[in-house]
Amino acid sequence: MSDEIIQIETPFQFNEENKREFDELIGRYPVKEAAMLPTLHLAQRQAGYISPAVMKYVAELLELSVMKVKDVVTFYPMFFEEPVGKYVIRVCHTLPCALRDCKVVLEHLKAKLGTDIASETNLAKGTTDDGKFTLMKVECLASCDVAPVIMVNDDLYKNLTPEMVDELLEQLPN
């Protein structure tokens, strides 16, 4: 056994705004653990991804073991355990989008960005070398009427064609 335990060199902490938001959040639930998902969202927004330092911090805030946080982080695909691009592109590929040629959009994005599709355990695979984009496939985004759809960070883009994708990528500031 390597008794080596990771040493967290730069501890994570909420900035003041997020701390305030967290304090408000925690009051909503009769048990602290219930604030897990919103807290992790908050932390990810600040840190970019859920690093061991973040996990430890959240565990302390919610009075849980670190594993309880890790357990949740790995269950939900929206939490990242490694750094992702500035823009996370989620391409829906479930049936209604598939019926509307999401494959074309996906292949176009792959070619355009020159990257593979990220898997949940290997996000680096889908991240461009310049760290601007991370390309991932996701399941149904509940916008089947405007398929094919993609999400870029928090924004939904509808009825996409390869041309619209080109336009969209150009619009995004560096």
| Least spacing, CB of residue 132 vs another protein, in Å | 20
Under the binding rule (CB under 8 A), the answer on residue 22 touching another protein is no
- 150's enclosing H/E stretch is strand 150-152
- 138's enclosing H/E stretch is strand 133-138
Residues 54-93 that bind another protein (CB under 8 A): 55-56, 62, 64-72, 74-79, 81-82, 90, 93
Secondary-structure breakdown of the chain: helix, strand, coil percentages, each rounded to the nearest 5: 45, 15, 40
Decide whether 130 or 145 has the Cβ nearer to another protein: 145
Joined together, the tokens standing for residue 59 give 């565990």
How large is the greatest C-alpha to C-alpha distance in the chain, in angstroms?
55
- Beta-carbon contacts of residue 96 (< 8 Å; ≥ 6 apart): 140, 144, 147
Other C-beta atoms lying within 10 Å of the C-beta of residue 84: 20
Decide whether 120 or 166 has the Cβ nearer to another protein: 120
Query: Site for another protein (CB under 8 A): which residue of 145, 158, 161, 167?
Result: 145
Residue 11 burial class via C-beta count within 10 angstroms: exposed 0-12, middle 13-18, buried 19 and up: exposed
**Interface region with another protein, contact rule CB under 8 A, candidates 13-21, 37-45, 106-114, 165-173:** 37-45
Under the binding rule (CB under 8 A), the answer on residue 10 touching another protein is no
**Interface region with another protein, contact rule CB under 8 A, candidates 13-21, 107-115, 138-146, 161-169:** 138-146
Which spans of this chain sit near another protein (rule: CB under 8 A)? 1-6, 28-31, 33-38, 40-41, 51-52, 55-56, 62, 64-72, 74-79, 81-82, 90, 93-96, 98-100, 120-121, 138-147, 151, 154-156
